[in-house]
Amino acid sequence: MKQERLALKPDNITFEQAAAVPTSGLIALNNLREAGGVRAGQKVLINGAAGGVGAIALQLAKAYGANVTGVDHTKKLDIVRSLGADHVIDYTQEDFTQGSERYDLIFDIPGNHSFSACRRALSPEGTYVLIGHENFGESGHRVLGLLPYFFKLMALSLFVSQLPKANFSMPSKKESMAVLKEFLEAGKLTPIIDRTFPLSEVPEAMRYLIDGQPRGRVIITP
């Protein structure tokens, strides 16, 4: 591995926590900043707030000064609160797209609501950002997944101001990792690990990831 592709681990986190940061952290940070334009004072809703990407996105939105509402399953609301959410929504009891609250940014990780439904919960100048996890093909589109839907939103973004314009340039990973490192060292970002599995139990780890309700990341150890 070339040195320029590496980032130093902050001293205040473990190696397991460090392993949980790069992929989810880059997805959360770059989509919040570049596509979502998160800033202080905004009302931000994070759908899937206790998962690997969601737990980091929630903490980052708080670090940027946003008022954050976290949406997730009943069993995960305690961790959503512990991460600093100002408000929580239990999706088994309440559909955020049907409520009266309006948000400046909806950060949608599972993509389990249509944009037209989410738009009802956006302020007129709000932004909708789809990550589109789709829970390992649970949507039924196992070949292309949510790609057709992403292309549809990209086309709509030419006419709808609440969708970020398509941007094919990639932010600098080195710069983005430096930002994540600063938040980690300042204690504003704490990687959440649900469980660790040894390398010999990767199949079990995958089954747990797919069938369970992980809180944060699932980590493979040597």
pLDDT score, position 136: 47
pLDDT score, position 205: 94
Confidence at 162, pLDDT banded by 50, 70, 90: confident
pLDDT tens digits, one per residue of 99-154: 999 999 999 998 888 889 999 999 999 999 998 865 545 554 555 567 777 677 87
Confidence at 171, pLDDT banded by 50, 70, 90: confident
Asked if residue 22 lies in contact with residue 184, where contact means CB atoms within 8 angstroms, the answer is no
Q: Going by C-beta distance under 8 Å and a sequence separation of 6 or more, which residues neighbour residue 125?
A: 104, 161, 162
Return the percentage of the chain with pLDDT > 70, whole number. Answer: 92
pLDDT score, position 134: 58
Bridge partner list, 108: 47, 130
pLDDT score, position 142: 54
Mean pLDDT over 39-51 rounds to: 95
Q: Going by C-beta distance under 8 Å and a sequence separation of 6 or more, which residues neighbour residue 118?
A: 97, 106, 108, 128
Asked if residue 220 lies in contact with residue 199, where contact means CB atoms within 8 angstroms, the answer is yes
Can you name the CATH fold of 13-193? Rossmann fold (3.40.50)
- Given a cut of 90, whether residue 191 has pLDDT beyond it is yes
Mean pLDDT over 179-194 rounds to: 95
pLDDT score, position 133: 67
Give the C-alpha separation, 20 to 5, whole Å: 17
- Given a cut of 90, whether residue 43 has pLDDT beyond it is yes
Give the C-alpha separation, 182 to 64, whole Å: 13
Mean pLDDT over 160-174 rounds to: 79
State which amino acid sits at residue 217: R
Give the C-alpha separation, 24 to 27, whole Å: 5
Mean pLDDT over 3-16 rounds to: 90
Return the percentage of the chain with pLDDT > 90, whole number. Answer: 65
pLDDT score, position 145: 65
Mean pLDDT over 13-30 rounds to: 94
**What are the sequence ranges of the domains in the chain?**
13-193
- Give the predicted TM-score (pTM) of the model: 0.87
Cα 60 from chain centre: 10
Query: What six digits make up the tokens of 121?
Result: 């919960």
The residue ranges of DSSP E strands in the chain, in sequence order, are: 43-47, 67-72, 87-90, 103-108, 122-130, 193-198, 217-221
pLDDT score, position 168: 65
